C-alpha cells in the first residue's frame, strides 16, 4: 500500500466508553460496559477491520462512534475536529454513514427504493428541485448496480443481495468520506457475498472511502482490511496490520480466535492445530476483574486478575493489551 494515502487520520477515537444501565432489581441498575476505554484511529482511504465474538461490543463501537448512542465517555475526532456539539454531530453525519447487517429489517417496507435512497437527501436538504433529487437517486442506483426501473418498487420485492445494495446506495447518498459497515455481508450467500465485497472494494478505489468494517467472519475481514482490531468483552486487545495479525498474533485470544477459523481446504484443515478455548464468554454484566480474558486464558497469572493490562505498542503499529506476551509466544 502507498504510505501517502494513509497520512492523516480521518477518524480518531480516544478512550471511548459506552455503558448501558441494565435493570437488575426493582429499583437497581447496573452499568453494562459494552465498550470500555477503546482508542484507535483510521487514516484516510484505509479499511480498519473490527472483529470479535457476539457481545464483545464491536457493533456498539460503530454506533457510538457515529453518535447513534451518546458516548458515556471519550472523544471522537473527524479530520482533527472534535465531534461533540449538536451542530458538529449533524455535520459529521453527512460525512459518516452506516451500512447495517440485516438487509431485511434495515429497510422500511412502506417506502419505495427511491424514497429509501432519497431520505438522507431530504433530511439534509441536498437538492434544489425534484428533478435534481431524481437524478441523484438514479445515479446512486447505477453506482451500486441496481436497474433504474427498480426505483418505484418496494424492498420486499428484492433478494438479500439486492437489498444490501439498496442499503449501500442509501449510505452513499450524501457522498460520505467514512462508512461504518456493520456485518454487511454476513446475511448473504457465498456467491452474493463476493459480489458485495467486490463492490465495497471498487467504491473505495473510486471515491477514496474510509471504512470501519465490522464482522465476525475472519476470512472476509482479512480480505478487505488494511489493519485489524480484535475486541473481547468491551476492550480492544490487539490491533495491527492485517498480514501481521494473521501471521503473528500476539494476544492469546487473537491466537485462538484465528486458529478456530475453519479453513476451506481439507488438507490444511486436517493438519490445523486449533488452540481450543474452554468455556463461554463471561456475561459483560459480571466481567472478570483485571484482564477480561483471564478466565479463559491459559497464561493467566495473579497480576491479570488485579490490573487491566495497558494497550501498548509493542512493535511499530502492533498494539497489544496483555501482561504475558512473552510467555504466550
Partner 1 sequence: MSLLEVKDLRTSFFTPAGEVKAVNGVSFFLERGKVLGIVGESGSGKSVTAYSIMQILASTGKIVGGSIKLDGEELVGAGEKVMKTVRGNKISIIFQDPMTSLNPTYTIGHQLMEAITLHTDRNKKQAWDRAVEMLQLVNVNEPLKRMKQYPYELSGGMRQRVMIAMALACEPDILIADEPTTALDVTIQAQILELMQSLQKELGMAIIMITHDLGVVAQMCDEVIVMYAGSICEQGTADEIFYNPRHEYTKGLMRSIPTQNTAGKKLHPITGTPIDLLNMPEGCPFAPRCDAAMKVCIKHPGPFMKINDDHAARCWMNVKNGMEAGEVEPVLESEKGGEE
Point out which residues bind partner 1 (CB under 8 A): 53-54, 147, 159, 161-162, 189-195, 197-198, 201, 216, 218-220, 222-224, 242-243, 246, 256-257, 259-270, 272, 274, 276-277, 279-281
Our CB check for partner 1 shows the closer of 54 and 87 to be 54
- State the nearest-atom distance from the C-beta of 268 to partner 1, in Å: 8
Cell of 179: 462508512
Angle at 161 between CA 156 and CA 163, to 5 degrees: 40
Q: How far apart are CA 323 and CA 214, in angstroms?
A: 27
103 Cβ contact list (under 8 Å, min separation 6) = 160, 163, 164, 166, 167, 187, 188
Our CB check for partner 1 shows the closer of 96 and 231 to be 231
- State the nearest-atom distance from the C-beta of 225 to partner 1, in Å: 8
Our CB check for partner 1 shows the closer of 19 and 246 to be 246
- State the nearest-atom distance from the C-beta of 69 to partner 1, in Å: 23
11 Cβ contact list (under 8 Å, min separation 6) = 41, 42, 65, 76, 77, 78, 96, 178, 210, 212
DSSP 288: P
Our CB check for partner 1 shows the closer of 207 and 223 to be 223
Our CB check for partner 1 shows the closer of 78 and 211 to be 211
- State the nearest-atom distance from the C-beta of 155 to partner 1, in Å: 15
Q: In the chain, what is the straight-line distance between the N-terminal and C-terminal CA atoms, in Å?
A: 28
- State the nearest-atom distance from the C-beta of 274 to partner 1, in Å: 5
Amino acid at each position: 500500500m502507498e504510505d501517502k494515502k494513509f497520512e492523516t487520520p480521518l477518524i480518531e477515537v480516544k478512550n471511548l466508553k459506552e455503558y448501558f444501565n441494565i435493570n437488575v432489581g426493582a429499583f437497581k441498575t447496573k452499568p453494562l460496559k459494552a465498550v470500555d476505554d477503546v482508542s484507535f484511529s483510521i487514516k484516510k482511504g484505509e479499511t480498519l477491520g473490527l472483529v470479535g465474538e457476539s457481545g464483545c461490543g464491536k457493533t456498539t463501537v460503530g454506533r457510538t462512534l457515529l453518535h447513534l448512542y451518546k458516548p458515556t465517555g471519550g472523544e471522537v475526532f473527524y479530520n482533527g475536529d472534535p465531534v461533540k456539539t449538536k451542530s458538529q454531530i449533524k455535520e459529521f453525519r453527512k460525512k459518516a454513514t452506516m451500512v447495517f447487517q440485516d438487509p431485511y429489517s434495515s429497510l422500511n417496507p412502506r417506502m419505495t427504493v427511491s424514497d429509501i435512497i432519497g431520505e438522507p437527501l431530504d433530511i439534509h436538504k441536498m437538492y434544489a428541485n425534484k428533478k435534481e433529487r431524481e437524478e441523484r437517486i438514479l445515479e446512486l442506483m447505477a453506482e451500486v448496480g441496481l436497474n433504474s426501473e427498480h426505483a418505484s418498487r418496494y424492498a420486499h420485492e428484492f433478494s438479500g443481495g439486492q437489498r444490501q445494495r439498496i442499503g449501500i446506495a442509501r449510505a452513499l447518498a450524501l457522498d460520505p468520506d467514512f462508512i461504518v459497515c456493520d456485518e454487511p455481508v454476513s446475511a448473504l450467500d457465498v456467491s452474493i457475498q463476493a459480489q458485495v465485497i467486490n463492490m465495497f472494494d471498487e467504491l473505495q478505489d473510486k471515491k477514496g472511502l474510509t471504512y470501519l468494517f465490522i464482522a465476525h467472519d475472519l476470512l472476509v475481514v482479512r480480505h478487505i482490511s488494511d489493519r485489524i482490531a480484535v475486541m473481547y468483552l468491551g476492550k480492544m486487545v490487539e490491533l495491527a496490520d492485517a498480514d501481521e495479525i494473521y501471521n503473528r498474533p500476539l494476544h492469546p485470544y487473537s491466537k485462538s480466535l484465528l486458529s478456530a477459523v475453519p479453513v476451506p481446504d481439507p488438507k490444511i484443515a486436517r493438519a490445523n492445530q486449533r488452540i481450543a478455548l474452554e468455556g463461554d464468554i463471561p456475561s459483560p454484566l459480571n466481567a472478570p476483574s483485571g484482564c477480561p480474558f483471564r478466565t479463559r486464558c491459559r497464561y493467566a497469572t495473579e497480576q491479570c486478575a488485579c490490573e487491566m493490562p495497558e494497550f501498548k505498542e509493542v512493535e511499530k503499529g502492533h498494539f497489544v493489551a496483555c501482561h504475558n506476551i512473552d510467555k504466550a509466544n
